[in-house]
Amino acid sequence: MWRIGQLARMVGVSQRTLRHYDKIGLLVPAAVDRTTGYRWYGVAELARLERIRGLQRLGLPLRHIADLLDAP
């Protein structure tokens, strides 16, 4: 598990971006510490983030990316 800052540095996005993705429901953390509010991300979230970034490179807007990733 990685904290938000660790994941952001690893993947090359900002913490602000990850918070935005959480707010819009695109990338929800695996866990949130009730005391500190720290967001924790696991391997599944890392894989989803890589898919998000790949689709962004193709020029898709976030709302379309969410639809694609959540489709059955």
pLDDT for res 23? 97
Spans of all domains in the chain: 2-70
DSSP-assigned letter for residue 56:
H
Burial class (CB in 10 A: 0-12, 13-18, 19+), 36: exposed
pLDDT for res 7? 97
pTM as predicted: 0.92
pLDDT for res 20? 98
* Domain 2-70 indexed as CATH 1.10.1660.10: yes
Residue 72 reports pLDDT greater than 90: no
Residue 63 reports pLDDT greater than 90: yes
